[in-house]
Structure 1
Amino acid sequence: MSSSNSAIASAPSSSAPNPTWVEKLTGCGWLGIPGTAGDLLASRPENATQITVPSLAPREDGTGPFTFGKKMRPKLSGWAQKVISDISARPKPPPQPACSP
């Protein structure tokens, strides 16, 4: 396992933001941010901080990490939206107990 994957695999399950994990991801080159980890975690949606994942960015020759073209992108997007909104993927409410008269 590479160092970038080990940082992700051993991340704590806590939902509280932890700047040390962001610093580890930026330090190993997996994530690029213009400021500090604290700046990223303090940013609000109204003034969001741009992040970059270098392995997913297009290369200097214009090629990217994916082999599909412009025509396939809308199909993938539609497929992803269908999968997320699929009724069977949502948790079903527990059955209501039957009332006996």
Structure 2
Amino acid sequence: MLRRLIGWGGVWLAGSVAAFLLLDPILAAFVAIVGLCLWGVAVLASGWEQHPSFEQRELVRARRRAARRERTKDARARDRARWEAHQQRKADRSAGNPLDGPATRP
């Protein structure tokens, strides 16, 4: 693919030189600019299909998520314990247990 792009770059260069020799400079500049733009698009598009597949990208993301979950498992365990304690306090209040309810003054 690289050889083909280099070949087309040579064709563009030769065509641009010929345009400047044979045509009006404004028309030759137009031909050179359009040719350069087309060649640039071809260069940028040459690697279009050279990317990881969806499955490969998802596998990388899954590994990053697993590593992040492993790093934060202690914090999640603390949060879970606090949440369960909170839920227990709510259940005790709704059951009418006065020991865990709001403090009242006599």
Give me the TM-score of the superposition, normalised by structure 2. Answer: 0.27
Larger Rg: 2
Q: Which has the larger helix fraction?
A: 2
Give me the TM-score of the superposition, normalised by structure 1. Answer: 0.28
